[in-house]
Amino acid sequence: MNHIKKIIQSVLIYIVLGFTVIISIFPIIWVVFSSFKTNAQILSSPFSLPTSLGFGAYQAVFKQTDFLMYTLNSLLIAAISTAISLVIYAMAAYVIARYDFKGKNLVYSLFVITLLVPSQCKAQPIFSLIIQLNLYDTKTALVLVYIAAGMAMSLFILKNTFMSIPKDFSEAAWMEGSGFLRTFFSINLPMAKSGMATAGILMFLGNWNEYFFAMLLTTSPACRTLPVALASFNETYSYNYTNMFAALTMAILPGILIYAFAQDQVTNSIVASGIKG
């Protein structure tokens, strides 16, 4: 009887997992396949397979729009903000994990609780600050906003990563006369590369896909990021679904590939952070 229950339970689990996978990847596969179909094929038989694999739509996107510039903007802004965030928040997480001071738990809680605050609630003060700094419609504005946006998640992951590193290494370095910076950069930071990679990947993907502040703080095409450009493509390709799907495919593919190669490390690091925290 118990054996039958286990079989039924396993079957139900696989059914739920299979259903979840299907509804998760089907829209992506449909977009990719549709980029190789004509408008007539998309409208007449939207769920059929493409009859040919032509890349004319992809070429048209590059010729008719500044897709490459938008992609480089997103890449530059996401990479710079992620790199700066990792350095700043790694040092902050190290201090919170290794040192005891009054109000440490309160400070950490206030930082992490910002995860619960929607972006729209912060729009007005951020917009006013960017205007006062004379940074409206600049890439610098987005870099600063994205650096701040990654604070809570980075501290949560990196704090628990540094807590998992034995204190003996730091104490041995201090006994040898190492200061704070040398102990951090030479001893602890290399041992926290798993958490650093996880925080970096999650921040980069978040910055790459961010739309709200990119739309709010930029207007000129020179500062436009890929998510904002895709929204404008709705007008450019309002009746050209093939080109629209080609642009969507190129926009989502980098994030999918990055996460596909790093999903095990990201998952394990987040699980470990939750257990140790």
Cα 276 versus chain centre, distance: 23
Q: Is 26 domain-assigned?
A: no
Q: Check pLDDT > 90 for residue 207.
A: yes
Judge whether 14 lies within some domain. Answer: no
Q: Is 13 part of a structural domain of the chain?
A: no
Q: For the segment 254-271, what is each residue's pLDDT rounded down to a tens digit?
A: 888 877 777 666 666 665
pLDDT at 57 over 60: yes
Asked whether residue 54 is assigned to any structural domain, the reply reads no
Within a domain: residue 256? Answer: yes
Element (H, E) at 263: helix 241-276
Q: Using CB atoms within 10 Å of the CB of residue 118, give its burial: 0 to 12 exposed, 13 to 18 middle, 19+ buried.
A: exposed
- Whether the pLDDT of residue 275 is over 50: the answer is no
Range of lowest pLDDT (42-51, 100-109, 231-240): 231-240
How far is 249 from 34, CA to CA, in rounded Å? 10
How many whole angstroms from its chain centre is CA 126? 20
For range 47-74, the mean pLDDT: 87
> Is 178 a domain residue?
yes
How many CB atoms are located within 10 Å of the residue 275 CB?
9
**Exposure on the CB side of residue 255, measured as CA atoms within 13 A:** 20
Compute the distance between CA of residue 247 and CA of residue 234 in angstroms, rounded to an integer: 11
What pLDDT is recorded for position 73? 94
Instruction: Let me know if residue 163 belongs to a domain.
Output: yes
Number of domains in the chain: 1
Residue 256 confidence (pLDDT) = 82
Mean pLDDT of 105-130: 87
Is the pLDDT at 163 greater than 80, yes or no? yes
If 0-12 CB within 10 Å is exposed, 13-18 middle and 19+ buried, where does residue 109 land?
exposed
Task: Note the pLDDT of residue 277.
Answer: 45
In this structure, which amino acid lies at residue 134?
N
Domain range for residue 143? Answer: 66-276
* Mean of the per-residue pLDDT values of the chain: 85
Q: What are 134-143's pLDDT values in tens digits?
A: 999 999 999 9
pLDDT of 272: 56
| pLDDT reported for residue 111 | 85
* pLDDT band for position 82 (cuts 50, 70, 90): very high
% of the chain beyond a pLDDT of 70: 93
Question: Exposure of 196 by Cβ count < 10 A (0-12 exposed, 13-18 middle, 19+ buried)?
Answer: buried
Full DSSP string of 177-197: T--HHHIIIIIIHHHTHHHHH
- pLDDT of 1 strictly over 80: no
CATH code of the domain containing 90: 1.10.3720.10
| Structural domain includes residue 245 | yes
